[in-house]
Structure formats: structure tokens, C-alpha cells
Amino acid sequence: MKKIISLAILFSTLGLNAQWKTNYGREDFFVEHDEQRLSWGYFVSLNQFDFKITPRYDYGTDRSDVAKGETYIANGASTIPLQVTEKGRASINENGKFLVTVDSKMGFSAGLMGRLKVNDYVDLWVQPGIHFAERTLHFDNIKVDEEIDVLKPDTEEPNMERYTVTKDALERNIKSSYVDIPFMIEFHGERWFNTRPYVQVGLGYAVNLQSQESNTDDNYGGIFRTKTHNFNWQAEMGINIYFRRFKLTPAVKGIFFLNNELVPDNPGTPNIWANTMSSLKTRALVFSLKFE
């Protein structure tokens, strides 16, 4: 075992020496770019957007009271008040399994970049772009043909109605188009021949052009609504690769929304969709190629 380790160290050392000799004295490309105070570029990316969902724990693991009201039944010429209770649908089962799940599809991103040089090791960036994402929520807390009592609000005579679950109610497809404007600070090291590693962190503001927040329809009409205006924090790492006329940067970034994107369903809608959740936050992984 010791001989194997010794041989591995020996070959690694020889390989590093060979690499150093091969690259020693190589010309540094695109040096003038790093000397500029201001510069710009663009990026294209593949993304994977997901949701972090927090369930409504006040529903417990079975149905529990979430709304109460009074309705009336006729008794001759008079009416008799009748207490009615609406039941909510839990999104976790008795074993603690989360019954609302997310499927994500690969999406596309593109945008521009602007850089302000602070010193030889720090840059400031603004990177406005757009992210196209698609996610599907699966509601395993309900079953087809299941009947659920729903309290229909009415200022004069609230009443209980019965909703029958259809196949379309089991999932909601959510398409999003985020116009994202992040402000990042970058820390990078020295050039190693024609490469340079870096890390970035920052905050962003994102507008969802397909949020449906202002839509009066909700999940009763097949519309899952989310917030239009959102805030996030981002972290990125990558490596700059210098060529004679341009710089190419492969990078990976994580995006994490800070605010709750969930828009509750309207009163009178069965508590089997948005109202089974207390929080819905986007998180994403973005693989980019940047050109400067």
C-alpha cells in the first residue's frame, strides 16, 4: 500500500512538473481587458428552478377546523341558525410525508453584464437577465372523485357546498418568466497562465411576468398564483478563461428567494391547493457561459 501511495505521489509530481514546463512562458491573453475600469459582456444559461414548500402544520395530519360560520335552515316562517365548519386538507400524512411535491423542467436564461473594477482583486457587477422556468406541483393530498365540503362565504346566508375532485385538480403547471437584476461583488485571485478563479455573492430583485398575482381566478379555475415582485440572494463560482480576443467564463450560480411567493386562494375555494401551504419560495441552480 505504501509503495502504491509513493508511486501515485511520484507520478503526480512528474505530471505537475510537465504541466508547468509546458505552460511556462506562455503569453498572457486579453490583458488589456482586466485593466479597463468599465467593461461589459453577455451570458447564456441553462437553469433548474425548484420550490421550497413549507406546509400548513396547523392542519395536522388529518382534517381540522379552518373556518367557521353560520348558515340557516328554514323552519316554516322562521329560520334556525345552524353552525357549519369547513375542513382543511393536510399536506402531510401520519408518517410525516409531505404530500405536495414539485417536478422541475430544465429552463433557459440569458442576459447582459456590466463590470466596475475596484482593484486587482475585487469587481462590482450588475447582471440583468431573464429566466424562463417551468414547474409542476402535484397534490397527493387529494384523490379523484373525492368529495370535500366547502364553506361558501356570503354576507347574509353562508352555506356549505360540496366539491368533487377531478383529475385536473391533482396538479398545477406553473410557468415563470423572471426578469432578474442582481448586484454582485466578485473576489478573484491572480491569473494562473490564462485562467483565473473567482467567487461572487450579491442580492437581486426579480419580477415574475407570469405570476398571475392580479388574476381574480384562483385554483378553483385552474390558476395557481404567485407574487410578482420578489427578492433573492445569489452565490456564484466560476473560472475565467482568457483567449486572444475574448474571455470565456463557465460558471455555476445558486439563486435563493427571500420572500414568500405564495398567493392564498380566494375565500370559498377548497383548502386543498394553495391553502395547504404556509410558504412557497423559489430556489434555482444556473449553469452559465459568459462572454466578454
pLDDT given for residue 30 in this prediction? 76
Q: Side-chain half-sphere of 189: how many Cα atoms within 13 Å?
A: 11
Contacts of 176 (CB under 8 A, 6+ apart): 49, 131, 132, 133, 134, 135, 208, 210, 211, 226, 282
pLDDT given for residue 32 in this prediction? 83
pLDDT given for residue 282 in this prediction? 98
* Amino acid sitting at position 22: T
Using an 8 Å Cβ cutoff, are 256 and 283 in contact? yes
Longest dimension (CA), the chain: 103
* Tally of residues, the chain: 292
pLDDT given for residue 151 in this prediction? 73
Q: Which of 208, 210, 259, 213 is nearest to 233 (CA)?
A: 259
pLDDT given for residue 163 in this prediction? 83
pTM of the model: 0.80
Q: Which of 164, 178, 189 is nearest to 240 (CA)?
A: 189
In angstroms, the Cα distances linking 284 to 158, 208, 231 are 43, 14, 13
Q: How far apart, in whole angstroms, are the C-alpha atoms of residue 222 and residue 220?
A: 6
Using an 8 Å Cβ cutoff, are 246 and 292 in contact? yes
pLDDT given for residue 99 in this prediction? 84
Could you give phi then psi for residue 102, rounded to 5 degrees? -125, 135
Using an 8 Å Cβ cutoff, are 28 and 194 in contact? yes
> What cell numbers appear for 276 in the block?
395547504
* DSSP states of 104-135: EEEEEEEEEEEEEE-SSSEEEEE--EEEEEEE
- The tens-digit pLDDT sequence of the chain (292 residues) is 445 445 445 444 444 444 444 445 577 887 788 889 999 999 999 999 999 998 887 654 444 444 444 443 444 444 444 444 444 556 676 666 778 899 999 999 999 999 999 999 999 999 999 999 999 999 988 889 988 877 766 656 667 788 888 999 999 999 999 999 999 999 998 888 899 999 999 999 999 999 999 999 999 899 999 999 999 999 999 999 999 899 999 999 999 999 999 999 998 888 889 988 999 999 999 999 999 9
In angstroms, the Cα distances linking 235 to 11, 176, 199, 202, 283 are 36, 21, 8, 7, 12
Q: Which of 239, 283, 242 is nearest to 261 (CA)?
A: 283
Place of cell 323552519: 75
pLDDT given for residue 137 in this prediction? 96
Q: How far apart, in whole angstroms, are the C-alpha atoms of residue 169 and residue 138?
A: 9
pLDDT given for residue 65 in this prediction? 42
pLDDT given for residue 105 in this prediction? 95
Classify residue 26 by its DSSP letter: P
pLDDT given for residue 55 in this prediction? 86
Classify residue 218 by its DSSP letter: -
